[in-house]
Structure 1
């Protein structure tokens, strides 16, 4: 086993092209997953790559480098539309985990309960992927294909998350339900972004996690809420159908329970986004 720690993106991509090392950043998911097994594959540490740990404003929006940590997200000067993402960042493990774990690692782990995915879906995030052949971008909703399944070929490396421009008036919220307040995997979670115009919702985006193999936007509910006040959402939520979701039964909760609490979580997230 060889530990590789390149300082340039070209070096990292060349190493990926030449072999099949395991890519690590914070390692907060990767190392626990190994259990007691010896590490036999080469490791490619991307945390020293120049420019990969940076959150920057661009002409088209925002760029979150692949080595950016949850703590970087929390401390970054970002518009209110990112408040939901910041709230999710504060829910990821302990402060020590937030200091080491990366938001891109959370995506690449492709857990149905990944806290970062719903807020990023509401921000219309794109995933930037590099290889020796060039750069491509994929919408986040297409990048995560299933449980532990992502659109990443051998020799490719996620280099950044790209967020399009957002207005200064766009707001957001994030609500997570767990068995306790801190240090817990989600039973269900909801992220929301919206505009409030003359007291009514405009361009609401709602994404739900831990209730299907991949976090999903609720497009039909978003359309139904257009032009309604946040308070008027309650009766709509009572009759809303979530047939696209497929929550499972596990040690944290049953599928029936997840669907039962979802309406309350969505209502809370909407009110947080609208008035928080």
Structure 2
């Protein structure tokens, strides 16, 4: 059965009655995953929920609807700290994919190589989940549990991503390493944001994807950078022990050892880019 609700309330009611329904928006993850498998009994098409595509700047946070596309993110006028997310948006597949694929779908798919996760982690993003029982918010880091696993209940839908406006002026960078330049699943990706005061680091946040079941922050590195002089770059302060939270695997794209080495280099480059006034 094909369901096409007109409001979030209708969508939640449908999910409460049919928790096995597959939610569909851009479809760029859903359709390839089906392959030759039998189609699900219920498909919940969210394309009429226009409010879920809205991007709004509020006094204390930025609200990004779960149906916002990568192309819409690229075009949105957002604080400087969102530049890394926009850089990631330009790396998602082709232009055709970017025009229909959604940020919410990227997060709910919960791939370790999801491009949107590291830039949102460094922004301390939260997600909003809604059901007939009400709404709840939780940090993105708590929402993602592992490869293709989240804390979303079957009767819930992701409606918004909320980013607190605590580092609006931060300089950011997003770097992605793959076997080729475009249309590639990453071997390693890094997002960083640095806020400066009088030429020194007031706050630094760094996240790495594709090197763990869930992309993760590097808290020991972030702490070590506080107060550092930004002139000359910050990459020189990155040590091997800062990358200990990573748990990379060997697969067809790269070995675990290569991923760690590449991650170290990309973190150095991203931090240096955040301090380069010409970047």
* Contact in 2 for aligned 1:55/1:65 (Cα 8 Å): yes
> Residue deviations 1:23-80, cap 9 Å, x none?
1111101110111223132111112113111000123211001111111100100011
1:197 aligns with 2:187: no
Secondary structure of the corresponding residue to residue 98 of structure 1: helix
Equivalent runs, 1:149-164 vs 2, <5 Å: 149-164=149-164
Secondary structure of the corresponding residue to residue 274 of structure 2: helix
Match of 1:244 in 2: 245
Distance 2:84 2:228 in 1: 21
Match of 1:6 in 2: 5
Secondary structure of the corresponding residue to residue 268 of structure 2: helix
Question: Bigger CA drift: 155-164 or 265-274?
Answer: 265-274
Match of 2:268 in 1: 267
Displacement over 4 Å in runs of 4+? none
1:177 aligns with 2:177: yes
> Residue deviations 1:185-219, cap 9 Å, x none?
00001001111222222210000000000000000
Match of 1:135 in 2: 135
TM-score by length of 2: 0.95
Cα distance, 1:228 vs. partner?
1.2
1:17 aligns with 2:16: yes
> Residue deviations 1:217-262, cap 9 Å, x none?
0000000011113436334224434222110011111000000111
Equivalent runs, 1:52-67 vs 2, <5 Å: 52-67=52-67
Secondary structure of the corresponding residue to residue 175 of structure 1: strand
Alignment: residue pair count: 275
Question: Bigger CA drift: 250-259 or 260-269?
Answer: 260-269
Report the CA distance shift for 1:79/1:250 in structure 2 as closer, same or farther (over 3 A).
Answer: same
Give unpaired runs (5+ residues) of structure 1.
none
TM-score by length of 1: 0.96
Cα distance, 1:167 vs. partner?
4.4
* Contact in 2 for aligned 1:118/1:190 (Cα 8 Å): yes
Secondary structure of the corresponding residue to residue 240 of structure 1: helix
Secondary structure of the corresponding residue to residue 52 of structure 1: helix
Equivalent runs, 1:77-226 vs 2, <5 Å: 77-226=77-226
* Contact in 1 for aligned 2:21/2:40 (Cα 8 Å): no
Match of 1:233 in 2: 234
* Contact in 2 for aligned 1:9/1:50 (Cα 8 Å): no
* Contact in 1 for aligned 2:12/2:157 (Cα 8 Å): yes
- Cα RMSD of the aligned pairs, angstroms, is 1.3
> Residue deviations 1:69-99, cap 9 Å, x none?
1111001000110000000000000000101
